[in-house]
Structure 1
Amino acid sequence: MTNIKRIALSLPVAVGLSACSSTSDLRTEISATQSRLDILETEIAEGTEEIGTPGQDVRTRIAYRPFQQWASNFGQRTITFRQTSKGGDLARQSRRCRVFGSIRPGYRVAIHEEDSTRVDYTIGPLTLLPDDTGFVLQSEMDLRARTQIAGSARRPCWGGWSPTVTLGVSGRSSPTVRLRLEVDPHHSGVNPQYRLAIISPRELDVELRTGFQLPFGADVDVRTTLRMDNFAQHLASGELDLLLENTGEIVLPNGSTRTYSLQTIEPTLATDASGISFASDIELTREPSSSQPNEATED
């Protein structure tokens, strides 16, 4: 009888000790799990430091480096334009004869040969030069053109056409072209301003050259420089609309639709010598009007 009492007393003690041991192990495991979660949270926070900070729900950046690499690999490109037909006269004038009162052609100027006109336009290499407010795209340009012109004339009252005189004319210009794109994110208005303009050349010199042969066999070479200015420096300008809003619909399994609106809140644009950055809060709202599925009616 005494042995039975001892066994009955030892069983609850063993169960209690076992429960204490299990609780201790559980607490240790919970503590270790919490430590691992803390470490993981720290790693995620360090790796995504710029995500979720106030005022920057969405951030994107356009770097200039890929465009600089594209410009350096551009090399030189040549575009050639050729004439395929004469296509009529370049100039023609009629004159009135004071004696007979009749009108007849006075002179005409035309392209002499079908393939005599050619224009070669070469651009490159390109250079992209960024700064804190935008960038400058710079390139060397070489423009060459040539044509063969023929002309003839006759008196207003009598006589036939004069002998046709042909004249070869060539021209060349080799300026340095610089385009500038400038962004002003601190404009007084809501949206930043942009401007695209030609900053050089301000004027263009075209060297014209022609030559002809005198009756006694001497060749005459004539050269002159034609200066062209008053180019349109301004190409484009305007505002970058950063306040974006878009709506969409989601169809639920029961057939009803939910309309949502997504818009940017207090967007900002920043520029530096390495690129352009955009940051904004995003607000997602549900529109109050949403359609419900058609319910079946019983007769």
Structure 2
Amino acid sequence: MNQNTHLLSHISCSVLHLKSPPEPYKTSEWYTSRIAGVPFLLRNIMSLQRSGLHNLIVYIDKPQEEIEKLASTINDLLQENLENCDVLVMSATVGDFAAETLEKEKIKKQKEDARIITNIHWVSNSGQLKETLQNREGHTLFFNGSALHDKKEVRSLLKTFTHQEATPPEALPISKDRLESLIEKIKRNDEKELIEFQEETPSFTYIPGSEQAHVKEQKDFSIQHERLLAGSGQNHDSPITRLLSRPFSQKMTRFFLNTKITPNQITLFSFGVGLGSAICFAGGTYPMNVFGGLLLLFSTWVDGADGEIARLKFMESKLGGKLACLQVDS
């Protein structure tokens, strides 16, 4: 049994609750606004699936037509993203309306060891949500969809469940009365009430997201963009890399985020610049050595940008890893 399967063995379902956006924004407009190159809702869906949550309920109390429009937009964005990375979202259901996001031929083209499959069930009213949750045995995770959820934080939460419950108690469904109470609290969008409900219901966990990751008004999209960009480096970066390389590579990343250029293309470009630097050094003259040094420095900055883009846009791939290793070795 792999680690994710073990962590999720007693989790019944995961719900991503989308709150109504502030006026005058439409639901589709708000939740498809981009943060660091990825639409808000899509970023959360992909963060949760990277955490190992492959069955997701997306709930927002809006008319069916509005939900179908949002679901259709997200499905289109997922297919667009699929062309550039190893993430696969297989199917989505909006109430009784089911739409396949990928044809079987496309699925066959995916490398089996690169697949991540998520089933998304879209729920558009409290009655559907109640019907979906009732009689489910196991733990229910309820995510605040108005905050960005980091995959590391979610994985840490899942590990906490396992450590606290080496042998989980018998998983019982939320009782009918408790479920009625939960639905009412969800309607009121009161985080304090949901937290209190969590304390009283062992099989329910509310994840509000960190306060700094909340998106409540338009300016928060820019704030989150800058926050993610500032954290796009790696934990094992050396002090020299953090001081002399990341500030410049992140400026390049800021530009590349708004383009369709892929991390692999950036890696190849960096490799080309590095090769040009080697040719300059081979010239042996002082001007050529200076120019070669500048090209080498620029190549280092570009090389940092490819990984930042891959992490921010969920575009990591085995090919990208091999290209990066090839560049380092050369």
- Same fold by TM (over 0.5)? no
Larger-gyration structure (1/2): 1
Coarse TM-score class (shorter-chain normalised): under 0.3
Q: TM-score with structure 2 length normalisation?
A: 0.20
If each structure's helix is expressed as a fraction of its own residues, which one has the higher value? 2
Question: Per chain length, whose mean CA-contact separation is higher, i.e. which structure has more relative contact order (CA < 8 Å, sep 6+)?
Answer: 2
Q: TM-score with structure 1 length normalisation?
A: 0.21
If each structure's strand is expressed as a fraction of its own residues, which one has the higher value? 1
